C-alpha cells in the first residue's frame, strides 16, 4: 500500500473508533452544560457555587478515574495479541481498584473543606457548594464502575455500546435536573438549585452502571472474554500491580491537567461571583470543543495499543503520528470557527449581560489554547499506549502547575504588588494556561518522537 493509501486507511480507522467516543463524551459533557444553563437561569449565586463545586469535584474525580483507565492500554495490547480471557480478567481487577478509589473519592467530597478554603467563599456560598458536593459523593462508586466499563469497551473497539448508554443517561438527566433545580410547586417539590444538579447526576450514573452490568451479562460479544468464569473476580496481586504501576502516574497526570484549570475557578472566585460565572461559561465552551481531540486521542490510542499487542510496531508509530496531525488540523479549524462566532455562542449560555461581558475577553486566547490542548492530549494518550506515563506527569507538573497556575496567579493578582499593570484578573489565568498548554504539548510531542524512535524504528 502506498504512503497516501496507508494514511487514508489509518485516518479511516481512527475516525471509525473516534466518532462514537466523541458523541458519548459530548453526552457526558452535556451534563455540565445542562447544569450550567439551568443554574444560570436560576440564580447567579448558584452558578458561582456550581463553578467552584464542579471544579472541586473534577479535581477529585478525574485523578481517580485516570487510575482505573489504565485498563485501556493494558486490555488494548491483550486484545491486539488475541489474549481475550486475560483481557476479561483485567476488567475485574480494575473493578477492585475502582472500589478502593471510590472510598477515597467519597471521603474527599463529604469533607471538602481544604479545597473550599482556597476559594475564600462566604458562608452562604460555602453551604451551597457543600450541598452540591455531598450529592455528588453518592455518584462516585457508580461513576468509577462505569469508567472501567468504558475503558474496557474502548480498548476492544466497541465504543458504540458506551455511547448508547451515555446518550440514554443524557436523555434522563435533562428533565430530572430541570425538575430538581427549579422544583415543582404543584407537586410540593421545592427548588433545590445547584444541589439538584448533583442529585440528578447521581441518579443517572447509577442507572447507567446497572444497564452496563446487564449488557455485560447478556450480550454474546463479551463471552470470549470469559467475564463470568468462576473465581475470575478474585483480586490478583500481579494484575493489580500492573494496573497501579501504569494507573498511578496516569491518574496523577490527569489530576494535574484538570487541576491546572479547575483551580482557576477556585482562585477566580476570590474576584467575585460575576468573574467566576463568566469563567465557568468560557470553560464550559472550550470543554465542549476539547471533546473532539479527546475522542480522536481515544480512538488513536486504542489502535496504537492493539498494534503494539500484535507486534506491529511500525504501524503503531504511524498511527500515533497520523492521529496527532489529524487532531491539530481539526482543532485549528474548530477553534477558529468558534472564535469568530463567540458573541452569539455566548448568548446561548447566558442572558446576563455582566456574565457574558466577563466571559468574552477570556475567549481571545481560544484558538491557540485549543490547538495546544489538542497536541498535549493526543501525545499523552499515545504515550500511554506505549505504557509511558511517569515522565509525562513531570511535564504536566512543570507546565500546567508551574507555568499555568503559578504564572496565572501572578498575572491575575500580582501578589508582589510591584507590577499593578500585571493584575489581569481572570484573563491572566487564561494567558498563563495557554502558555502552559503550549509548553506541555511541545514537550510531550518531543517525548513521543523519542519513544517511537527507540521502540519502533526498523532494524
Each residue's pLDDT tens digit, 221-241: 999 998 876 566 788 888 888
**Of 14-28, 80-94, 282-296, 342-356, where does mean pLDDT reach its minimum?**
342-356
Cα(254)–Cα(266) distance, rounded to whole angstroms? 18
- Between the alpha carbon of residue 129 and those of residues 22, 113, 269, the distances in Å are 30, 10, 12
User: Nearest Cα to 197, choosing from 132, 260, 144, 143?
Assistant: 132
- Between the alpha carbon of residue 135 and those of residues 4, 39, 106, the distances in Å are 52, 16, 10
Q: What is the pLDDT of residue 163?
A: 95
- Between the alpha carbon of residue 429 and those of residues 154, 266, 411, the distances in Å are 34, 11, 7
- Between the alpha carbon of residue 420 and those of residues 117, 414, 415, 423, 425, the distances in Å are 26, 7, 9, 6, 11
Secondary structure, 3-state, the chain: CCHHHHHHHHHHHHHHHHHHHHHHHHHHHHHHHHHHHHHHHHCHHHHHHHHHHHHHHHHHHHHHHHHHCCHHHHHHHHHHCCCHHHHHHHHHHHHHHHHHHHHHHHHHHHCCHHHHHHHCCCHHHHHHHHHHHHHHHCCHHHHHHHHHHHHHHHHCCCHHHHHHHHHHHHHHHHHHHHHHHHCEHHHCECCCCHHHHHHHHHHHHHHHHHHHHHHHHHCHHHHHHCCCCCCCCCCCHHHHHHHHHHHHHHHHHHHHHHHHHHHHHHHHCCCCHHHHHHHHHHHHHHHHHHHHHHHHHHHHHHHHHHHHHCCCHHHHHHHHHHHHHHHHHHHHHHHHHHHHCHHHHHHHHCCCHHHHHHHHHHHHHHHHHHHHHHHHHHHHHHHHHCCCCHHHHHHHHHHHHHHHHHHHHHHHHCCCCCCHHHCCCHHHHHHHHHHHHHHHHHHHHHHHHHHHHHHCCCC
293 compared with 277, residue with greater pLDDT: 293
9 compared with 46, residue with greater pLDDT: 9
Q: How confident is the model over 293-315, as a mean pLDDT? A: 94
Residue 184: φ, ψ to 5°: -140, 90
Q: In the chain, pLDDT over 90 holds for what percent of residues?
A: 45
Cα(35)–Cα(407) distance, rounded to whole angstroms? 30
**Of 112-121, 173-182, 360-369, where does mean pLDDT reach its minimum?**
112-121
Q: What is the pLDDT of residue 419?
A: 42
Q: How confident is the model over 412-430, as a mean pLDDT? A: 61
pLDDT at position 247 over 80? yes
- pTM (2 d.p.): 0.83
Average pLDDT, the chain: 86
Q: What angle do CA 19, 22, 28 make, to 5 degrees?
A: 145
User: Nearest Cα to 424, choosing from 361, 355, 366?
Assistant: 361
Confidence label for 62 from pLDDT (cuts 50, 70 and 90): confident
Amino acid at each position: 500500500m502506498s504512503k497516501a493509501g496507508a494514511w487514508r486507511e489509518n485516518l479511516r480507522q481512527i475516525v471509525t473508533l473516534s466518532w462514537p467516543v466523541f458523541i458519548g463524551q459530548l453526552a457526558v459533557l452535556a451534563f455540565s452544560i445542562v447544569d450550567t444553563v439551568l443554574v444560570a437561569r436560576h440564580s447567579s449565586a448558584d452558578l458561582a457555587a456550581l463553578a467552584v463545586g464542579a471544579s472541586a469535584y473534577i479535581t477529585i474525580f478525574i485523578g481517580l478515574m485516570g487510575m482505573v483507565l489504565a485498563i485501556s492500554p493494558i486490555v488494548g495490547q491483550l486484545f491486539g495479541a488475541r489474549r481475550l480471557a486475560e483481557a476479561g480478567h483485567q476488567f475485574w481487577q480494575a473493578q477492585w481498584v475502582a472500589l478502593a478509589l471510590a472510598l477515597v473519592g467519597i471521603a474527599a467530597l463529604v469533607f471538602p473543606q481544604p479545597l473550599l478554603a482556597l476559594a475564600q467563599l462566604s458562608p452562604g456560598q460555602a453551604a451551597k457548594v457543600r450541598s452540591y458536593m455531598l450529592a455528588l459523593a453518592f455518584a462516585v462508586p457508580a461513576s468509577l464502575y462505569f469508567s472501567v466499563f468504558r475503558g474496557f469497551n474502548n480498548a476492544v473497539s466497541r465504543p458504540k455500546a458506551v455511547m448508547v448508554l451515555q446518550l440514554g443517561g443524557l436523555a434522563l438527566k435533562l428533565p430530572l435536573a430541570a425538575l430538581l433545580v427549579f422544583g415543582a410547586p404543584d407537586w410540593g417539590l421545592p427548588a433545590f438549585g445547584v444541589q439538584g444538579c448533583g442529585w440528578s447526576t447521581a441518579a443517572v450514573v447509577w442507572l447507567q452502571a446497572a444497564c452496563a452490568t446487564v449488557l455485560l451479562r447478556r450480550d454474546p460479544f463479551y463471552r470470549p472474554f470469559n467475564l463470568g468464569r468462576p473465581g475470575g473476580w478474585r483480586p490478583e496481586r500481579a494484575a493489580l500491580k500492573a494496573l497501579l504501576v501504569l494507573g498511578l502516574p496516569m491518574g496523577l497526570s490527569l489530576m494535574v491537567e484538570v487541576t491546572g484549570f479547575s483551580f482557576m475557578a477556585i482562585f477566580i472566585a476570590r474576584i467575585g461571583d460575576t468573574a467566576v460565572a463568566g469563567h465557568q461559561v468560557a470553560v464550559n465552551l472550550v470543554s465542549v470543543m476539547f471533546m473532539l481531540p479527546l475522542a480522536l486521542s481515544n480512538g488513536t490510542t486504542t489502535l496504537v495499543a492493539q498494534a503494539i499487542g500484535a507486534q506491529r510496531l511500525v504501524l503503531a508509530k504511524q498511527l500515533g503520528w497520523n492521529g496527532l496531525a489529524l487532531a491539530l488540523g481539526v482543532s485549528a479549524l474548530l477553534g477558529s470557527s468558534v472564535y469568530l462566532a463567540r458573541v452569539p455562542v455566548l448568548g446561548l449560555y447566558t442572558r446576563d449581560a455582566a456574565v457574558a461581558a466577563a466571559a468574552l475577553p477570556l475567549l481571545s486566547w481560544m484558538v491557540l489554547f485549543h490547538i495546544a490542548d489538542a497536541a498535549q492530549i493526543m501525545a499523552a494518550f499515545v504515550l500511554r499506549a506505549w505504557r509511558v506515563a511517569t515522565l509525562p506527569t513531570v511535564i504536566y507538573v512543570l507546565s500546567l502547575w508551574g507555568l499555568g497556575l503559578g504564572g496565572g496567579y501572578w498575572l491575575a493578582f500580582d501578589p508582589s504588588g510591584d507590577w499593578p499593570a500585571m493584575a489581569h484578573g481572570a484573563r491572566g489565568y487564561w494567558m498563563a494556561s495557554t502558555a502552559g498548554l503550549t509548553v506541555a504539548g511541545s514537550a510531550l510531542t518531543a517525548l513521543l518522537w523519542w519513544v517511537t524512535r527507540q521502540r519502533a524504528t526498523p532494524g
